[in-house]
Amino acid sequence: MSFRAVIAGACLALYAATSLARVPEQYAALQAAFVEDLRALANTCETAGERELAAEIAAWAAPPSPYLIVPVFPEQAAQPPSEEVSPAHRQFWELRRRQADALWELARQALAEDLAPLAWQLAWQTLRENPDHEDARRVLGYVRHDAQWLTAYEADKARAGQLWHPRFGWIRADRVARYEQGERLHKGRWITAAEDARAHAEIARGWEILTEHYRVTTNHSLEEGVRLAALLERLYHVWHQAFAAYHVNKAALARLFAGARPRASQKRLQVVSFRNREQYVAALAAEQPQIHITTGYYSYTRRTAYFFAPSSGDEGDTTTFYHEATHQLFSEIRPTAQAVGTRGNFWAVEGAACYMETLAERDGRWCVGGTDGDRFLAARYRLLEEGFYI
């Protein structure tokens, strides 16, 4: 290779490295200027006696949390501030809208510079400042249905006359009243809830609860299956933001940025929840001899996550639930080898699952992170008190 070719290659590599660094640097500068404007506005509000608004703006300008904070965006489309609000309130709204537009342009630039995961994350940042940003909503899988922002799957359900019920899952709106009165539709005819329970007593004939990303089978109760399905969808939503670099497909994302409409997911992850621990152990002992000491298990060979219903009055072990369901997400969202981590890098596989098991709701938002989870505390104790570590 000639000296000129070597120099040309080095220059190309240097240009690429500079280009890749451009978007993160621009994002940092953009956020710094935004925070400065917000703090100035908060001071103005404080001086004018608008202390409640000042506190809200100051909180919005607070430095990033060491935890992963996932906001819950409103389904209902918002309206601009009314004429009755103060000029400062309107200015806060306008600052956020301008920031959203700037973040969106930066997201487009990130995609052009082959930084698809960053583009995805910037799209979410765009929605934080403007939950009604149409392009960001579309890229992240939302469509506008009437005056609501719904996922493509939810919009399909709404057009079919269905709604999500916290006890019954997806159900036609005209059937809710009969379900609430204790009736159940089974094989085309109405029966009592007790008859429905007998019909689904065996796991092979259990209730199937379908959501956008999961198929939950249980022989405990319809309500228990719906409860698990809601937890799983919550985990999926947060995991999708936390691990964008793992799952984002650049080609698919580019199509959405170019204007393609989002489509409902065609793949569902399989989850089975038994009525009790005894059934759980009996079904899985042959595959996992230590199953009796577990409260949840993801089978790489069956590509199914297994759990059992909590005792009456108990909400169950959500940490193990999130832990095993996280293994399933990493295993199935993109092609992987079976039983990753069994020959090496076990710490990374388990670390990610331990991280997601800290998922909790705080102040209307989803929060992940920290070192106060049960497994973290147990590992710390075993290291400091027993000298044991892996």
pLDDT of 18 above 50 = no
pLDDT of 322 above 50 = yes
Percent of the chain predicted with pLDDT > 90: 70
Indicate whether this model's pTM tops 0.75.
yes
Give the pLDDT mean for 320-338: 91
Give the pLDDT mean for 209-221: 98
**304-319 tens-digit pLDDT:** 999 999 876 555 678 9
**248-288 tens-digit pLDDT:** 999 999 999 999 999 888 889 999 999 999 999 999 999 99
Give the pLDDT mean for 324-342: 86
Q: What is the pLDDT of residue 2?
A: 43
Q: What is the mean pLDDT of the chain?
A: 89
- Domains, the chain, in order of start with CATH, read 19-140 (1.20.1260), 143-194 (no CATH), 201-358 (3.40.30)
The secondary structure of the chain, three-state, reads CCHHHHHHHHHHHHHHHHHHHHHHHHHHHHHHHHHHHHHHHHHHHHHCCCHHHHHHHHHHCCCCCCCEEECCCCCECCCCCCCCCCHHHHHHHHHHHHHHHHHHHHHHHHHHCCCHHHHHHHHHHHHHHCCCCHHHHHHCCEEEECCEEEEHHHHHHHHCCEEEECCCEEEEHHHHHHHHCCEEEECCEEEEHHHHHHHCCCHHHCEEEECCCEEEEECCCHHHHHHHHHHHHHHHHHHHHHCHHHHCCHHHHHHHHCCCCCCCCCCCEEEEEECCHHHHHHHHCCCCCCHHHCCEEEECCCCEEEEECCCCCCCCCHHHHHHHHHHHHHHHCCCCCCCCCCCCCHHHHHHHHHHHCCCEEECCEEEECCCCCHHHHHHHHHHHHHCCCC
